A and B are shown apart, each in its own frame.
Chain A
Amino acid sequence: MVQALVDGVLLGGVYGVIATGLSLVFGVLGVVNFAHAEFLMLGMYVAWFAWRYLGLDPLLGSVLSFIIVFGVGYVVQRTLIERVLKAPPAAQVFLTVGLLIAIENAALMVFGSEFRSVSVPYQVEGYRLAGIFISAPYLYAFAAAVILSAALWFFLDRSWTGRAIRAVAQDPMASALVGVDTKRTYGLAFGLGVALTAFGGAVILPYITVSPTIGGQFVVLMFTVVVLGGLGSVAGALVGGIVVGVVQSMSALVFPIQLQNLCLFVIFIAVLALRPQGLIKGA
């Protein structure tokens, strides 16, 4: 029980970072990015190649994932997403769904369909603390997630670009008037959003194998986290991540593995129905 709680928190912290990116994109651009999980997949592949050919541990490779996917995201935003920012939701939904399909299959063409995993020295290690086993790769991924979240908070709060992003999220017109380049800021915010998610993908590589379809497994999970925390709320996504992580590992105690996701889906629909603005208020 306590063991499941600890596992859940460790897992959930990473979910938090993964979903924060999605939430940030919605919060700033107002676009629900259905393709978001594909950037998680890209981040995982970058980290895998960094491990395979540069010998980088995925925890370090994650930085590379962050940087590369940030660039990809910036370009995708400026060339594609930018053009539907003012379009009705249906157009945004289908543009990003089309992107999802295209990216997933591009990955299939480039990387092939095989599952790839890394081997790191601490893969099966762990720490024992008062009778609870803390798995090393989970712990390190969690720590990396916490560090990145802190960095994100610092960036949004202190840096000029971070403030510009928050300003544009609140009032694009006013921000433009005071000299913020809103288009560039949208691009940066999207890049940052997908980079955060890619980072989250990279740090879980030691315990999750990557394949072109890995994104699909994270789509609903990611959205559940974000909807729990309130779409657009970055802090809410972090809390939502931990909640989902705990729910997932707790339900594993009761339900067979396949039905684990069922719990998530049901929670997801229920939250959407009851409180589409999110459960975690004021976050």
Chain B
Amino acid sequence: MRKHLSPGLVLLLLFFVAAAALPFFVDPRGHLLRVAAMALLFAAMAQSWNIVGGLANQVSLGHAAFFGLGAYTSTLLFLRFGISPWIGMFAGAALAAFAAALLSFPTFRLKGHYFALATLAFAEVLRVIANSWASVTGGPVGLSIPFLGTKPELFAFRAVSSYYWIILALLVIVCLAFRLLARGAIGYRLRAVRENENAAEVAGVDTFRVKLTASIISAAFTALCGTVFAQFTFFFDPDSIFALSGISVRMAMIAIVGGLGTLGGPIIGALFLIPLEEVANAYLSSAAAGLSQFVFGAILVAAILIQPRGLMAYWPKSKAGRLARKDAKPVTPATPATEGGR
């Protein structure tokens, strides 16, 4: 067992410390902190997605479903019954976990494109329901959370910095969960499932259970992010919270641009993409509607073509880096120096 801290891990811890200190150095009510909070939230979302998308390589294009379930559950419980979003967020997580389990049954055999399509359709189902079942969901106009001033017990704060720290804490928790999963027995099993499902089964891996567990955990964390998002933005509607490109694809894209299946990938991806989008929005949306989204799409295309293993591949010590170097020289049946040694 290697227990020592790798350089990457040290870097990550330093990042968390620096991130925690950020509100002391910038305007605590300012735009910059909002953007930073959004970047961290998207990092947490991408990390949640990474649990199934990266470790098991089940490419979901429907995680907006769980995100929206989290936002709707906590917000409706609060608006209708006055239940604090702190409690509502766990109700949302439970509901999302349940939905993920339900979805696992029809989709567990599906791979690659088919899985992506089925999950995409699932999020669409929820979007349609949220739009049309207006008596419960409020319909297409969406839901707004009344501003109450600072009420910590009701997850309401005046200062952006409070949300920022909550989001950072959530990110740390999701990262911790990811690492525990990746390094634990289930991490081995998930990677086995990812790489060869039949071989995994024959080697004794209960592939259905492993995927089910990962999807449930992933969905629950995504739903937590949904609640936090709702509290942070005060307002959401079905089309934005269950959005394909706005939520589902963006979660996946951040993980991919950063480095699929790696611990640092979603953070690097979010720190790279969210500010970039923000800048693009600020400077380009005045130029022409759609330009910043166009850039977003173009970056995704470019990222896939330039380095499918993500930004993490440029960190030479990482596994992604090693694999990327291997990708670069395809035909190398390099025999290790030592033969079987019998």
Do residues B297 and A98 form an inter-chain contact, with CB atoms below 8 A? yes
Do residues A89 and B59 form an inter-chain contact, with CB atoms below 8 A? yes
B213 contacts partner chain A, Cβ-Cβ < 8 Å: no
Chain A residues near B112 (CB-CB < 8 A): 88-90, 93
Beyond contacts A90-B53, A102-B294, A269-B122: 14 other A-B pairs, Cβ-Cβ < 8 A, are A34-B116, A89-B111, A92-B113, A95-B301, A102-B301, A104-B290, A105-B290, A105-B293, A113-B289, A212-B290, A272-B106, A273-B106, A273-B107, A273-B118
- In the assembled complex, the CB of A83 is this many whole angstroms from the nearest CB of chain B, namely 6
Do residues B125 and A262 form an inter-chain contact, with CB atoms below 8 A? yes
Given contacts A32-B117, A258-B132, A269-B121, contact A102 B297 (CB under 8 A): yes
**Chain A stretch 100-148: residues in CB contact (< 8 A) with chain B:** 100-109, 112-113
Chain A residues near B57 (CB-CB < 8 A): 88, 90
Chain B residues near A154 (CB-CB < 8 A): none
Partner of A265, one of B125, B253, B260, B299: B125
A176 contacts partner chain B, Cβ-Cβ < 8 Å: no
Partner of B116, one of A93, A98, A265: A93
- In the assembled complex, the CB of A188 is this many whole angstroms from the nearest CB of chain B, namely 22
Do residues A276 and B110 form an inter-chain contact, with CB atoms below 8 A? yes
Do residues B260 and A90 form an inter-chain contact, with CB atoms below 8 A? yes
Whole-angstrom CA separation of A109 from B292 in the bound complex: 10
Is the contact region of chain B dominated by helix, strand, or loop, or is it mixed?
Answer: helix
Indicate the member of A98, A227, A259 with the most B CB atoms within 10 Å. A98
- In the assembled complex, the CB of A64 is this many whole angstroms from the nearest CB of chain B, namely 24
- In the assembled complex, the CB of B301 is this many whole angstroms from the nearest CB of chain A, namely 4
A173 contacts partner chain B, Cβ-Cβ < 8 Å: no
Given contacts A101-B300, A102-B298, contact A93 B291 (CB under 8 A): no
Chain B residues near A80 (CB-CB < 8 A): 301, 305
A66 contacts partner chain B, Cβ-Cβ < 8 Å: no
Is the contact region of chain A dominated by helix, strand, or loop, or is it mixed?
Answer: helix
Closest to B57 in A: A90
**Chain A stretch 190-233: residues in CB contact (< 8 A) with chain B:** 212, 216, 219-220, 223, 227, 231
Closest to A268 in B: B121
Indicate the member of A106, A107, A227 with the most B CB atoms within 10 Å. A106
The 10 closest A-B pairs by CB, nearest first: A98-B300, A89-B112, A101-B297, A108-B290, A102-B297, A273-B106, A105-B290, A32-B113, A105-B294, A98-B301
Indicate the member of B109, B116, B256, B299 with the most A CB atoms within 10 Å. B116
Chain A residues near B298 (CB-CB < 8 A): 98, 102
Chain A residues near B300 (CB-CB < 8 A): 94-95, 97-98, 101-102
Given contacts A101-B245, A101-B249, A223-B117, contact A90 B290 (CB under 8 A): no
**Chain A stretch 77-94: residues in CB contact (< 8 A) with chain B:** 80, 83-84, 87-94
- Chain B residues near A (Cβ < 8 Å): 53, 57, 59, 61, 105-107, 109-114, 116-118, 120-122, 124-125, 128-129, 131-132, 244-245, 249, 252-253, 256, 260, 288-291, 293-294, 296-301, 303-305, 308
Whole-angstrom CA separation of A19 from B59 in the bound complex: 23
- In the assembled complex, the CB of B100 is this many whole angstroms from the nearest CB of chain A, namely 14
Indicate the member of B112, B113, B249, B252 with the most A CB atoms within 10 Å. B113
Do residues A87 and B114 form an inter-chain contact, with CB atoms below 8 A? no
A99 contacts partner chain B, Cβ-Cβ < 8 Å: yes
Chain B residues near A266 (CB-CB < 8 A): 125
Chain A residues near B305 (CB-CB < 8 A): 80, 83-84, 95
Whole-angstrom CA separation of A242 from B133 in the bound complex: 29
Do residues A259 and B249 form an inter-chain contact, with CB atoms below 8 A? no
List 21 A–B pairs whose Cβ atoms lie within 8 Å, in order of A's numbering: A32-B113, A80-B301, A89-B116, A93-B112, A93-B113, A97-B61, A98-B300, A100-B245, A105-B290, A105-B291, A109-B294, A220-B124, A231-B113, A258-B128, A259-B128, A261-B124, A261-B128, A262-B129, A262-B132, A273-B118, A276-B114
Given contacts A89-B113, A223-B117, contact A95 B304 (CB under 8 A): yes
Do residues B297 and A105 form an inter-chain contact, with CB atoms below 8 A? yes
Whole-angstrom CA separation of A34 from B252 in the bound complex: 15
Whole-angstrom CA separation of A212 from B253 in the bound complex: 22
- In the assembled complex, the CB of B101 is this many whole angstroms from the nearest CB of chain A, namely 14
Do residues B124 and A265 form an inter-chain contact, with CB atoms below 8 A? yes
Given contacts A90-B59, A93-B59, A98-B297, contact A270 B128 (CB under 8 A): no
Chain A residues near B109 (CB-CB < 8 A): 273, 276
- In the assembled complex, the CB of A266 is this many whole angstroms from the nearest CB of chain B, namely 7
**Chain A stretch 251-283: residues in CB contact (< 8 A) with chain B:** 256, 258-259, 261-262, 265-266, 268-270, 272-274, 276
Whole-angstrom CA separation of A273 from B115 in the bound complex: 9
Given contacts A102-B297, A259-B132, contact A272 B110 (CB under 8 A): yes
Closest to A79 in B: B305
